[in-house]
Amino acid sequence: MLRETEFRSEDLPEQDRFDAWRELMSSTHAPMRLESERAADFRAHQRLIDLGAVAVWPARFEQLVFLRTPKLIRQADPEVYHLSLLRDGRAGVSWGREQNVYRAGDFHLNDSSRPYEIWTHRGWISSVGVEIPKSLLPLPAATVDRAVGRHLCDRSGPGALLAHFLTQLAAGTGGYRPSDGPRLATVLADLVAAVLAHAVEDERAQPAETRTRVLTLRAKAFIRQNLHDPDLTPGRVAEHLHISRGYLHRLFRAEGETVAAYVRGARLTGAHRDLADPAHAGTPVHVIAARWGFPRAADFTRAFRAAYGMPPSEHRGLGTGT
């Protein structure tokens, strides 16, 4: 089998676990600062698969914040790229003004020479990390730089191939010899390069106007699919699209409206239609309102009257002839 080392937090006393994990992360990738609300009794498991110059590390751990600061970069920079496949859980990453949100099935790319902050949501995170020296990745540095911060997924194309490779490798290395490691490292570097180049080429092939229009249409589609949810917020929409809330608001402002106004208008349109439909004549007004994301009847009545100049009960009477 390939050379592996394993870390299990339960093998250590509770008071030593988080410090040991911090040291492990700094040696696995690059020196970094870690924070966690679970630091007092931190639980984590990591297997480090040695492919020679490239390392793969399947890991499962509790809530964490990873900080790679300018000061830490000045102290030590191993000159590597880190690609992570998120298999379970959610995480956000910030590179200063840029940020993105990742969920199961997404890849994210970091550069040990660039400051970043990663924060995972509460609960367990499962991922497969890949450490590749910059010198081994067969792509121009400018191309890789454009891929940092992009949304990369495992659902089709090169991303699906890379995810399959990493998942199979993480499942077990018993069928390999140590001498296979360098050859697997070359295959892995080529797959990572294919994923990054594919993402950059796709983005560059689309005019900026097309990209923003597509994002706006995707935002509206997600909103329409979730109008029933009273907790539908701009933050949720932005997270689904892997963009910041500020960028989402700019997309809607370009069309002369706000996110909140679009959500409210779509909900009212649906409720207006259902109230006039004889098939819903026996359904109480407040039930229809709740179906369209208005859990409080008074709020619904007020918004409906402002939009249509009459209360919902009166509109229903017109539709049913009562």
Structure confidence by residue, pLDDT tens digits, 81-101: 999 999 999 999 988 777 888
Positive or negative, the CA dihedral 277, 283, 286, 290 is negative
pLDDT band at 241 (very low <50, low <70, confident <90, very high): confident
Predicted confidence (pLDDT) per residue in 157-211, tens digit: 888 889 999 999 999 998 888 899 998 999 899 899 888 888 887 555 445 665 6
pLDDT of residue 211: 64
Q: Which residues contact 86 (CB under 8 A, 6 or more apart)?
A: 102, 103, 104, 105, 106, 107, 108, 125, 126, 127
Q: What is the CA radius of gyration of the chain?
A: 25
User: pTM to 2 decimals?
Assistant: 0.64
The answer to whether 224 touches 266, Cβ cutoff 8 Å, is yes
Q: What is the pLDDT of residue 154?
A: 67
